[in-house]
Each structure stands twice: as C-alpha cells, then as structure tokens.
Amino acid sequence: MLKKTITYTNYDGEEVTTTAYFDLSKTECVDLNLEYEDEGGLVGHLKGLIKETDGGEIRQKPAVDFVKLLIEKAYGVRPKDDPSLFLKEDEDGRPLYKKFRQSKAYDTYVYALLSGAESLDEFAENVLPPISDEQKAEAQKLMEQEGLGDIVKLPGR
C-alpha cells in the first residue's frame, strides 16, 4: 500500500494537504491482466505501448492513459473506524476514484508522476502486491524476451 501526502492549491487558492491511499490486491492484478487478454495480458499491453522503432520510444497517449488507469484502480480509502478495510466503493457501490479524479489532489499527483517529480517506480513498488524472488526472475525473463527488460521495473519487496 502506498500512503501519499499530496499538497496542492485548491479552487479557492488555499494550500491544502491531504493523504491518499493506493493499493492493488493480487485478485485485482489478475483482473487487470484479463482486461488486456486480447493483447497478451499486461506484458502484451506494455509491449504495445512501445513503438516498433529502433529507439523503443514510448507512445505517450496510451502510456499516460495506462498510468491514470493504475492510479484509479489502486485508489481507495481507509476508514478510521475499521483500518482493516480498504474501500474502493461508497455505500451505493460507486467507485471512489471518480470523486478523487475530480480533485486538485488527483491532478497534482498525476502530473507529478507523469513529469517525473514523483517516482513511477515508487508507485509500482508500493501499490503492486509483493512477488517472490522466483516469480520476479520468471517475470523479468519474460519481460526481457519481450524487449521490456530495461523499461518495466518489477516490485522488489
């Protein structure tokens, strides 16, 4: 889980600091992989983000959309009355990320990630579930076979 303190200027021009939480469970990662099944799973999707050029240039729009998708899927709230829960929907079943996405905190954090002011590696390291050294070696081998070994960093926890 990533607990992120975000400081931003609100719509009234006041500086505000808030805490946002991000986490993806193993089940959510399986679901995310299945969303890209037609592209060969997440690895296939990530490979598709890389232009088929000698430079291996990142396709900007799809890469930005993918980062925003990960943020939205990982966003949740830890209720003070039961910190064992990590809620991603309100009482009516509406995703909480939709409200977060409309905030200056979201805009500030996404921009910081995309501009390099915040680390995407830190985000992935703390949001993705930990994997064993064996799983990491197997995944890294697959990433290298797909030409993604230097681009995609796997969690090392």
3-class secondary structure per residue, 15-31: EEEEEEEECCCHHHHHH
Q: How many CB atoms lie within 10 A of CB 128?
A: 21
pLDDT in tens, the chain (157 residues): 999 999 999 999 999 999 999 999 989 988 988 988 888 887 777 777 765 545 556 668 888 888 899 999 999 999 999 989 999 999 999 999 999 999 999 999 999 998 888 888 888 888 888 766 776 677 677 767 766 555 555 555 4
The whole domain housing 87 covers 2-36+58-131
Q: With respect to residue 42, please indicate whether it lies within any of the assigned structural domains.
A: no
What is the number of structural domains in the chain?
A: 1
Q: With respect to residue 148, please indicate whether it lies within any of the assigned structural domains.
A: no
Q: What is the pTM of this model?
A: 0.79
Query: Are the C-beta atoms of residues 24 and 35 closer than 8 Å to each other?
Result: no
Q: With respect to residue 147, please indicate whether it lies within any of the assigned structural domains.
A: no
